[in-house]
A = this chain, B = another copy of it.
Amino acid sequence: MDLPLEDTGLRVDRSTKTLRERTVERLRDAILNFQFKAGERLVERTLCDRLGVSRTVVREALRHLEAEGLVEILPQQGPAVARPDTSQAAQVYEIRALLEAEAARAAAANADEADVARLVDANRAIQAAFAEGTSRDVLKATTEFYELLFTIAGKSVAWQLVQGLNARINYLRAMTISRPNRSADAGAEMVRIIEAIARRDGKAAAKASFEHVETVKRLAVSMLEDVSLLRTGP
């Protein structure tokens, strides 16, 4: 089993990602950071210039993002930034509630002291971002917290799904975050989750996690209703 040559330190770096992969990442990042408006057309030749790659690469990247749901191809028009589907947003939150609750339950079963400490740190980072960062920073810190939670839980597949779901409601997440008082409330909700995990109380962790998402869902739905009221007139 053991090789005479250790794997560590001597390996040739094969990780040079392809241009296409890096293009996908760049575009995904740009979309998730609102560098394009929702519904904005993504003109291939323009992207070629701005990204410095050929049209082939851009097109393949767009196909990938289309499958992820971040880009939609409008018939007879071409690729555009996917417009958020408000009718599906509530469903997304409901699914997240299920998955995150299960993750919290499993994390409570698996976590050791070091894991709990890491969760506490990650939550502190969220609070710090709330205090002095942009909503993007909060989003990033929150993502890292949940990545940690799902990792501790050993739920890699669920985490992939959650990331895909979050991408679809990214704009809503940013909106709910910049809501007044959201910082304190969210902090308290997170603390309840962490404390339950620290107590190894899976049931309570699942419940706290579920309720946290339900809260955010209600917030998001009410904001959506406000927006649609605005549109149809006062």
Contact = CB atoms under 8 A, between A and B. Distances in A.
A131 interface: no
A56 interface: yes
Interface string A38-61: 000000000000000000100111
8 contacts: A14-B75, A15-B75, A61-B63, A64-B66, A67-B68, A91-B155, A91-B157, A98-B99
A31 interface: no
A88 B157 contact: yes
A103 B66 CA distance: 26
Given A20-B63, A60-B60, 15 more contacts: A14-B75, A56-B56, A59-B60, A60-B63, A61-B63, A64-B64, A65-B67, A66-B67, A67-B67, A67-B68, A88-B157, A91-B156, A94-B102, A95-B99, A98-B102
A216 interface: no
Interface string A154-171: 011110010001000000
Contacts of A20: 63
Q: Interface centre among A63, A68, A94, A99, by most B CB within 10 Å?
A: A63
A8 interface: no
A139 B122 CA distance: 43
A224 interface: no
Nearest to A94: B102
Contacts of A165: 157
A20 B66 CA distance: 12
Contacts of A64: 63-64, 66-67
Contacts of A91: 155-158
